[in-house]
Structure 1
Amino acid sequence: MVSIPEYYEGKNVLLTGATGFLGKVLLEKLLRSCPKVNSVYVLVRQKAGQTPQERVEEVLSGKLFDRLRDENPDFREKIIAINSELTQPKLALSEEDKEVIIESTNIIFHCAATVRFNENLRDAVQLNVIATRQLILLAQQMKNLEVFMHVSTAYAYCNRKHIDEVVYPPPVDPKKLIDSLEWMDDGLVNDITPKLIGDRPNTYIYTKALAEYVVQQEGAKLNVAIVRPSIVGASWKEPFPGWIDNFNGPSGLFIAAGKGILRTIRASNNALADLVPVDVVVNMSLAAAWYSGVNRPRNIMVYNCTTGSTNPFHWGEVGYYVSHSFKMNPLNQVFRCPSFKFNSSSLSHHYRKGVSHRVSALLLDCTHVDRMMKTITRLHKAMVFLEYFTSNSWVWNTDNVNMLMNQLNPEDKKTFNIDVRQLHWAEYIENYCLGTKKYVLNEEMSGLPAARKHLNKLRNIRYGFNTILVILIWRIFIARSQMARNIWYFVTCQKHHKTRTAEQDRRNLAQPSLIREHLPAADQRGDGALECNLAEDHSELALQGQIQHLQILPS
């Protein structure tokens, strides 16, 4: 069987979503690890006054492609930007571009999608379902197409607790939904959305399930493979550890925690945090397309690209490692010391949210920061969308993933590593947090000493404030309590009498003859008996003294 780089040699690849997080990593990996690929057609729309070529050039000039620029400076020659709008009829392709694509394309990677959880249902259907259907129809016209690779999500069927590597029946017929949305106004669409999505948490998950069914039905005559990643995070190894370029998913939460803004999130500490590095998703997509292209299986191949079944990691551990990482390598100008916790208790969560989030935001807005409450409000909205995923766990079958891993030769297993059993979570989270600092916030590592000094300053302020708070509480509330005063007097009097009794015993034992002179002859006994009497007498005196002092305590 040919290796993965050999399979892609001379192939023409069509890629959607190349300006998105996953798409640009796939583009970089394909060009770097399969340098003999013939060309990559990138479907990109005009945006913000930029042409498709300008948008692609902006992507290629980023830090993500630094390694590729060093190894292959001429890689840009293989990339062909094509003006296309996936939400428009026939993808808004010109006849000339369409003809080139139909004649040349061998492999399709469909990564484009809207990943906004609160997307309007009409827009989500347009971007995730209708666009996928139109791309399938275009693929059916391609003369040399070998594989159609569709990137979905592992949560497409989150209404099930156990998810196999199959395409399940859709919650509704996609064609009927598309037809209905054409005559509905926005108000009606918003009203029926909760009933339509049912037990799925948002329109993104709902429409990705519909898209899988469209791929299965419309692409029945195509060689189709589907990769379902769970929560896609920063890179594990490639092109370098910790690369991330957006605030989506856990990245935004990590940054908020590192800044000291986010202190709590509602979650089950024992729930599985099914994070999967973006380079693992890319490697699996490239390997899955290779397997389908070489073996041409009779049935559609589905791969659950997850980590929970093979290398479990829990949200409680995520909170600990994130806080620890940002304490060791703090962000610049943090507002508070990082202390990020997942709370399974609703009462504890709402208390910390009110005190640590809203009260702190109000105090900061009253001083020098006038936008903190708006930031907290947006953060709370994001937390609501993520709560569903941090409070539940799922079991994904990964038989096809294991089969794919066993099909790779030793060299491909290294180059296209998909074995998440080797992933060390503490190291990964540390690199992830550093990646948010370097690549999202663009903070220089040379500023770490100053950031640590600032964090130590905040820590000292917190210790000082807590000390003053304890003293004030004692003086205002406890010191004025009659019970507290009685306990205080009892403790101090007891110590005083113990000290006085011990001193008296030492003096008496040092001069036993003086005591014997005043004792009657009948009572003069051995030293041992005398010492016992002395101990008894002084114990009685101590007890009487304590009773007398308790009687004079103020009422």
Structure 2
Amino acid sequence: MTAPAETFRRSDGESPNGQNGRDHAVQRLDGRLRDLLAGKKILMTGVTGFIGEQLLWKMLTELPDTTPAVLVRPKRSQSAWDRMVAVVKKDIFKQVREAAGGPEELLRARIDVIEGDLPNVPKLPRDIDIVVHCAGDVSFDPPIDQAFTTNVIGTKALMDRMIEACSDEHGNLEKIPHYVHISTAYTAGRRRGAIPEAQHVHTIDYDAETAAGLAMRDLLDTESRTSEHLTKLRKEAEREHRAAGFLTTAADTERRRLEWVQAELVKAGTERARSLGWTDVYTFTKALGERVVADVGRNVEVSVVRPAIVESSWKHPYPGWIEGFKMAEPLILAYGRGELPEFPASPDSVVDIVPCDYVVNAILAVCATKPVIGEPEFYHVNSGARNPLTFRGLYNHVRNYFSAHPFEGGPRGAARLPQWQFPGASSVERLLSTSERAHKIADRALSYAPRSDRTRKIATDLDRFRTRLDFLRRYLGLYNEYAQSELHFVDDNTLALTNALDADDVDAFAFDSAAYDWTTYIEDVHCPSITAPVRRMDAIRRKRGNRPTTMKDLSRDKAGATALAVFDLDGTVMSANVIEQYLWTRLPELPPVQRVAEFGRVLRKVPSYVRADQRDRGTFLRAVYRRYKGADLAAFEEAVDTSLAPHMLNRLSPDAVRRIREHREAGHTTILITGVVRPLTRPLAPLFDTIVAADLEVDDDGRCTGFLTGPPLVGESRPAWLRHYASLHGIDLDASFAYADSHSDLPMLQAVGNAVAVSPDIALMRAANANRWSIVEWKIKSSSPRWILPE
């Protein structure tokens, strides 16, 4: 299996890259890498990424006379220098950082930092010798325009700048740079069988594809703005947010439009890639990037390194080193939590995993080679050729690990690990589709259920189920083809190169994928590494109760009079609604027969009231308050003070009253904002500094007209009032609090820094979860049934 070190030519007459008749060989590595790369300046892109970070570490620790130069884009307020300071502050750089005297000293002494971006590459230093292009969009499903911008346009821009830096003023090359392109083994696309280390043959016009890919954003953005499409999105938003108000609905409509454009760009990339024989737009644009490299690099030295699935390190900087989650991690973790019941993999297909440090070592060895000008060399860095791991083997190793080291479960104990049967992609798709339909039916049925703790629990369970289904849909869609591929990546060039390493370099720079066993790597190295931070986070959540912190301990609050505490009334502070309150005030004054008649009339109107409340809270309140026509306002207020007050106070939540008093003790201004008519708020006056309520209009005789003096303060009018009040009184809304139970109060809750959902309806509960707001249950135990009228 080992090629002769002198020429790396195979005995059967076929060159290592699998192309018969091609008369060249990979050059021998004459000496140690530290000597071969001494005095070289290696420009890197992607240094803030997974491979790039370890590549920089390796150069700093093992190549003392090599100068790394890094192209880094600024990010928000961070300059390229600031971002690199953050990089070298990481643990793996500790030794070289301390030896240099600190992170900034390390940068000044060893690293050239160049601020720039892809494709907006600045002029590069003229003393560069090697360019290693690690940067690229590594998501399998980026928007099509983004994939082309990064993987095709960005690659060409970098190579053009490299050639410019190595040329004289007339454009003639003064020295020949070595361009090392980090691609992916999966640029082979949907091919089957052996994939040679060679340029993939295709006739795709990358300029035309790039132009079309970039144009898709404008095309889809224009389509998203048509009246037909906006009407559809607006109606969807109104169904969910109508009660909250027009601006909330408008904001959600625009969010849906932008998400639609983004989703369609992803779909466009996937479909275009598959129509031309690639699995996704990532591998498609990386393949086109390789063609750009070959065309632009005709007069320079070019090497293309194609890693397979890059995962945690086998040995360096320590076993299991990894930054972030890569391809396999979400699936492994989901399986360990019992949330991946099946996977559409062919059990005997090879999952081609390679440790990160092997990829980094291979890249640096490739940097030390001297390819023939204009004849790119290709290197597959993978394990499938000589140390294959099947999906069934991976499943067994992962199952063994979690059987021995399960995630700590909740009250029911550790999660039950699914038993995969590998039924095939079509069976998994049927199972997923059936589950999605069942969820949709259950969620629709839940929308008609009355508000209760049980309803919220069912909704929470359904939301968890929906999250699980979305996860499965996304990852099964992304990995379905990879899990059933029948590719075999030839790695003759890579094997020859690893065999050519100097004996003294083997320990630090080995990348022979046959040198490790999968039981040790997966069960003892990889799985412990990726689950450790998850276990730590789970422990923290268990300790903290996994609760958001907007329901703060007010004894430590220092905002004082600059903060408000704003409360809704019905369903938040008191268990009642405006129809009940009308009946409390109206029925006791009527004779028994008229009392029954009025109750019947109200009962018949309830369906129309419910429909009005779903459309617009203000319309609903106005409809109910019409029934106060003819009432004597003074008598109404007296009745509230004498007979109704005890009944109302009996409906207050002790938890709410306690919280209001805590706010007052903290020096906060307490405000009640309600759509209830003002007389009904009189018993609550001692609790609040300010009460904002609906005022009934009266005629010259002091009798109610059935109208209000102004619009009721509901929905988006509440945050508008709060912002005006805050501007007049020097209030900091970011330090303020708001409490409400209904989705119609979403705008008010969004206006403050500490929003709390109190026994919320389902829509508000979901918004609270999305915004990480506290959800509290303020129980109200009335001493009398709801149907008992005050006397």
Task: Confirm or deny a common fold (TM above 0.5).
Answer: yes
Q: 1:291–1:404: 8 Å Cα contact kept in structure 2?
A: no
Q: Secondary structure at the match of 1:42?
A: strand
Give the aligned partner of residue 178 of structure 1. 210
Could you tell me how far apart the structure 1 residues matched to 2:465 and 2:119 are?
Answer: 36
Task: Give the whole-Å Cα distance in 2 for the aligned partners of 1:258 and 1:153.
Answer: 28
What residue is the counterpart of 1:400 in the other structure? 493
Could you say what secondary structure the match of 2:140 adopts? coil
Matches within 5 A, 1:197-208: 197-198=274-275, 199-208=277-286
Specify which of 175, 182, 189 is matched with residue 151 of structure 1. 182
Supply the distance in 2 between the matched residues of 1:208 and 1:342 (Cα, whole angstroms).
34
Task: For residues 145-186 of structure 1, give each alpha carbon's deviation from its aligned partner in whole angstroms, at most 9, with x where no partner exists.
Answer: 531110001010123222111112345111222344455533
Coordinate RMSD, CA, aligned: 3.3
Q: Distance in 1 between matches of 2:348 and 2:293?
A: 35
Higher relative contact order (CA 8 A, sep 6+): 1
Question: In the TM superposition, what are the counterparts of 1:206-355 in structure 2 within 5 Å?
Answer: 206-292=284-370, 299-333=375-409, 336-339=415-418, 341=420, 343-346=422-425, 349=428
Distance 2:154 2:295 in 1: 15
Of 442, 458, 478 in structure 2, the residue corresponding to residue 366 of structure 1 is 458
Q: Structure 2 vs 1, CA of residues 340 and 52 (structure 1 numbering), >3 Å: closer, same or farther?
A: farther
Change (3 A) 1:288 1:305: same
Deviation at 1:333, TM superposition (A): 4.5
Quote the Cα distance in structure 1 between the aligned partners of 2:87 and 2:312.
17
Partner of 1:379 in structure 2?
472
Displacement after TM superposition at 1:141 (Å): 1.8
Instruction: Tell me, yes or no, if the aligned pair for 1:12 and 1:107 is still in contact at 8 Å.
Output: yes
| Distance in 1, Cα, partners of 2:78 & 2:48 | 13
Question: What do the CA deviations read for 1:56-80 (whole angstroms, capped 9, x no partner)?
Answer: 2222222343465477766443123
- CA contact under 8 A between 1:274 and 1:313: conserved in structure 2? yes
Matches of 2:361 and 2:355, distance apart in 1? 10
Instruction: Indicate the SS of the match to 2:303.
Output: strand
- Asked if the contact 1:169/1:213 (under 8 Å) is kept, the reply is no
SS at match of 2:369: helix
Deviates more, 1:280-289 or 1:347-356: 347-356
Cα 1:102–1:81 change in 2 (3 A) is: closer
Contact 2:182 2:306 (8 Å CA) reproduced = yes
Distance in 2, matches of 1:53 and 1:372, equals: 44
Structure 1 residue 6: deviation in Å? 1.2
The CA deviation at 1:276 is 0.9
Q: What secondary structure does 1:343 align onto?
A: coil
- Residue 116 of structure 1 aligns with which residue? 139
Asked if structure 2 preserves the Cα contact closer than 8 Å seen for 1:263 and 1:356, the reply is: no
- Partner AA of 1:242 in structure 2: G
Output the amino acid matched with 1:156.
T
Q: Which runs of 5+ in 2 are unaligned?
A: 1-29, 167-174, 224-263, 443-453, 544-791
| Shift in alpha-carbon separation, 1:394–1:347, aligned structure 2, 3 A | closer
What is the match of residue 646 of structure 2?
Answer: none
Question: Which residue, 81, 85, 92 being the options, matches 1:57?
Answer: 85
Give distance in 2, aligned partners of 1:368 and 1:72: 53
How many Å separate the matches in 2 of 1:237 and 1:358?
Answer: 46
Change (3 A) 1:297 1:404: farther
Does residue 1:42 correspond to 2:70, yes or no? yes
Mapped partners of 2:464, 2:76: distance in 1: 26
How far off is 1:344 after superposition?
3.7
- Equivalent residue of 1:324, what SS? helix
Partner letter of residue 398 of structure 2? V
Listed as ranges, the matches of 1:499-514 within 5 Å are none
Distance 1:321-1:276 versus aligned 2 partners, 3 A rule:
same
**d(CA) in 1 for partners of 2:403 and 2:435?**
18
State percent identity of aligned pairs.
27
TM-superposed deviation, 1:35: 2.3
Given that 1:170 and 1:209 are in contact with CA atoms closer than 8 Å, whether structure 2 keeps it comes out as no
How far the C-alpha of 1:407 sits from its partner, in A, is: 1.7
1:434 maps to: 528
**Distance between the aligned counterparts of 2:286 and 2:511, measured in 1?**
23
Task: Give me the whole-angstrom Cα distance separating, in 1, the residues matched to 2:395 and 2:437.
Answer: 20
Q: Secondary structure at the match of 1:228?
A: strand
1:273 is displaced (CA, Å) by 0.9
Deviations 1:221-272 (A, max 9, x none): 1111000011111111111111222223111111222222223211011000
| Residue type at the aligned position of 1:31 | L
**Are residues 5 and 72 of structure 1, via their aligned partners in 2, closer, same or farther at CA, if it must alter by over 3 Å?**
farther
Residues in 1 aligned to 2:521 and 2:418: alpha-carbon distance in whole angstroms: 19
State the alpha-carbon separation in 1 of the partners of residues 93 and 435 from structure 2.
Answer: 40
Aligned equivalents of 1:237 and 1:24: distance in 2? Answer: 16
Residues 326 and 171 from structure 1, CA distance in 2 versus in 1: closer, same or farther, beyond 3 angstroms?
farther
Report the more deviating stretch, 199-208 or 329-338.
329-338
Give the Cα separation in 2 of the matches to 1:360 and 1:254.
25
Write the letter of the residue equivalent to 1:203: V
CA deviation digits over 1:497-525, x for unaligned, max 9?
A: xxxxxxxxxxxxxxxxxxxxxxxxxxxxx
Once the two structures are TM-superposed, the CA of residue 398 in structure 1 deviates from its matched residue by 1.5
Match of 2:126 in 1: 103
Question: Does the CA contact (< 8 Å) of 1:17 and 1:110 recur in 2?
Answer: yes
Q: Tell me if the contact between 1:267 and 1:342 (Cα under 8 Å) persists in the aligned partners.
A: no
Counterpart pick for 1:168 among 188, 193, 200: 200
SS in 2 for 1:291: coil
Q: For 1:312 and 1:260, how far apart are their aligned partners in 2?
A: 27
Q: Which residue of 2 aligns with 1:492?
A: none
**Partner SS state of residue 469, structure 2:** helix
Aligned partners of 2:395 and 2:283: how far apart in 1?
25
- Give the distance between the partners of 2:389 and 2:433, measured in 1 at CA: 29
- Classify 1:139/1:340 alpha carbon distance in 2 versus 1 (closer, same or farther; 3 Å): farther
* Distance change in 2, residues 1:12/1:329 (3 Å): same
The offset of 1:397, in angstroms, is 1.7
The structural deviation recorded for 1:360 is 11
- Compute the displacement of 1:16 (Å): 0.5
Specify the code of the residue in structure 2 equivalent to 1:322.
V
Per the alignment, do residues 186 and 357 of structure 1 end up closer, same or farther by CA in structure 2, a change over 3 Å counting?
closer
Q: Does 1:30 align with 2:63?
A: no
Q: Deviations over 1:200-220 (max 9, x none)?
A: 121001001100010001011
Assess if the C-alpha contact under 8 Å between 1:263 and 1:340 holds in 2: yes
| 1:442 CA displacement | 7.0
